[in-house]
Structure formats: C-alpha cells, structure tokens
Structure 1
Amino acid sequence: MTTYYRDPDVLITSSGVRMNGHEFRLPELIRVWYTKGARSWGVIAWRGALGLAILLPLLAGGFAVLVALAMDASFTTTLTWVLAGALLGLAVVPVADLLLERVDLSYDRGSRNLEIWGRVREGDVLLLRTNDAQRFGRVYRALQRALEPAVRR
C-alpha cells in the first residue's frame, strides 16, 4: 500500500481515502472535483493594510525631504528635515521583513475556501473544506495520484 498524503484529518493511500469523517475505497469514488468559494474581503483588506504599513513611513519620509527642500529655511533646518525624513523612511526596514512574511503567509493560506467533492453511489460528498491553499493543493494532487492507477484498470 502506498501512502500519498497523511495529516491528522486526511489519509490518502493506494487503497482508500479518509477525509472529513468519511472513508472510501478508491473504486467507490466515481468522480472527484474541487470548487472555490467566494473571496474573503477581510483577508484582502488585511493584505492591503500590511502593504500600507510598509509604505506609510517611506511616504512620510519622502514628504519630509520634499518639504525640507521646498521651504526657505536655513541650511541647518533644511539638513535636519532631510535627515529626519531619511530616518523616518528607514524606520520601515526593521519591520518590513516581518510584514512581508505576514503577506507571504496570507497568500499561502489563500483568500477563499476551497472544497474537494467526491461522487459516490449515494450522492455527492464533501471530502475537504479548507482556506489553506497549500494544503488544498497537496491533498488534491495526492488524491489525483491515488486515483490515476484506478482509472487505468
């Protein structure tokens, strides 16, 4: 028996599938497909907020430098404004990596629910629902690999 995928909730082997509390032998699955749910606008707004958190110090620093160069002030005042603007713009560097990592994780998880459905003699069965896009891809590919030999028979 070959194991294609295993985690605490899903087991896909060359003999059968266990998902969402259902267990099926591979020949019982007549058809398998997936659906995508509606986008989660909260996730998309969160990504936008993270992007804005990265850009705001840069924009504020650039604006401070522009104000310093545009105002008619002494050299010392202008230099102070330029240095303050540069420091404000550089303030984003330490946190940018953390924020960009959060954005990456957000894309890994996805912005919508993904579902794997199967058709058996009794009707259509929801096999898996997740918003984790990476996990969904791994499970769906494993299911396809497990079903390939069954189709060729």
Structure 2
Amino acid sequence: MITYYDDRSVRVTSTAVRVDGRTFPLAEITMVWHRRGSRSWRVLAGRGAIGAAMAGPLVAAALGLALAIRLGRSPTVTIAIVGASVLVGLAVGPVADFLFEHLDRSYARGSRQLELWARWRGQPVRLLSTRDALRFGQIYRAVQRAVEQGQPTAAARTPARGRRG
C-alpha cells in the first residue's frame, strides 16, 4: 500500500481515502473535482492591514524628514528630527520581516473556501472543505494520483498479442 498524504484528519493511500473517520475505497471512486467558494473579505482586509502596518513606519520617517525641513529650526533640532525619522525607518526591517511572514502565511492559507468532491458509488460526496489552500492542494493532488494509479491503463486492459514473423 502506498501512502500519498497523511495528517490528523485525512489519509490518502493506494486503496482508500479516509477523511474524518469516513473511508472511501478508491475502487468505488469514479471522479474527483473541486469547487472554490467566494473570497473572504475578512482575510483580504487582514492582508490590507498588514500592508498598511508595513508602510506606517516608512510614512512616519518621511513625514519626520519633511517636518524637519519645513520647520527650519536650529541645526540641532533638525538633526534630532531627522535622526528620529531615520531610526523609525530602520525599525521597519525586523518588523517588516515579521509582517511579511504573516502575509506569506495568509496566502498559503488562502482566502476562499475550497471543497474536494468525488463521485462515490454513483453519488457526489464532499470529501473535504477547508480554507487552507496549501493543505487542500496537497490533498487534492494526492487523491488525483491515487485515483489515477488505481485505474488500469489501456495496455493493461487489452491482452497483449504477439506477432509471428
């Protein structure tokens, strides 16, 4: 038996697909497809907030520089304002790395509800529903490979005929 995918709730092998305790033998699955739901505005708003958070310190640094130039104060005050603005801008580095990681994870998780469907014993059955795009893709490809490997090829179904020469 070959295992194509295995986690806490889903296991795809060369003989069956098990999802949340329900087992679907591959011999009884004739078709596999997926459906994508509508976008989650909550996820998209979260991505926008992360983008705004990344731009915030840079905007503050630029405003500080503009303020220092606009005020026309003594060189000491101008240098202090410019220095504070530069420090705010430099603080973006570690914060941006943290925020980029969260942004990357949000894309891996996805912004849509994804469903994996199969025709099992002649009836459509929803095998899986998740927003985790990365996990969904891995499971979907595993089920496709398992179903393809379980189907006999045309050469295997047709008896081989030799030629006499």
TM-score (norm 1): 0.92
Residue correspondence of structure 1 range 40-79 to structure 2 within 5 A: 40-79=40-79
Alignment match, 1:117: 117
Question: Which 4+ runs in 1 deviate beyond 3 A?
Answer: none
Structure 1 residues 2 and 11, CA, compared in 2 at 3 Å: closer, same or farther? same
* Equivalent in the alignment of 2:158: none
Q: Distance in 1 between matches of 2:126 and 2:63?
A: 53
What is the number of residues matched between the two proteins?
153
1:65-120 deviation per Cα after TM superposition (whole angstroms, max 9, x unaligned): 02212332221221111111111222222322211111111111111111100112
Q: Secondary structure at the match of 2:69?
A: helix
> Contact between 1:35 and 1:115, CA under 8 Å: does it hold in 2?
yes
Comparing 110-119 and 84-93, the one that deviates more: 84-93
Q: Distance in 2 between matches of 1:20 and 1:125?
A: 14
- Superposed, 1:18-97 pairs within 5 Å as 18-97=18-97
Paired residue type of 1:82: V
Match of residue 162 from structure 2: none
Identify unmatched segments of 5+ residues in structure 2.
154-165
Work out whether residues 31 and 119 of structure 1, in 8 Å CA contact, stay in contact via their aligned partners in 2: yes
Within 5 Å, give how 1:111-150 maps onto structure 2.
111-150=111-150
RMSD across aligned positions (CA): 1.4
Counterpart code for 2:48: G
Query: In structure 2, the residue corresponding to 1:79 is in which secondary structure?
Result: helix
Q: Counterpart of 1:73 in 2: which secondary structure?
A: coil
Alignment partners' CA distance in 1, 2:129 and 2:18: 14
Note the alpha carbon deviations across 1:113-139, whole angstroms, 9 max, x for none: 111001123521110111111111110
Q: Identify the residue that residue 3 of structure 1 maps to in structure 2.
A: 3
DSSP-derived class of the 1:11 partner: strand
SS in 2 for 1:18: strand
Structure index of larger Rg:
2
- How high is the sequence identity, in percent, across the aligned residues? 49
Aligned letter for 1:105? R
State the partner residue of 1:105: 105
Determine the C-alpha separation between the residues in 1 that align with 2:41 and 2:21.
30
Q: Secondary structure at the match of 1:8?
A: coil
Q: Report the secondary structure of 1:30's partner residue.
A: strand
TM-score, structure 2 length as denominator?
Answer: 0.86
Give the deviation of 1:37 after TM superposition: 1.0
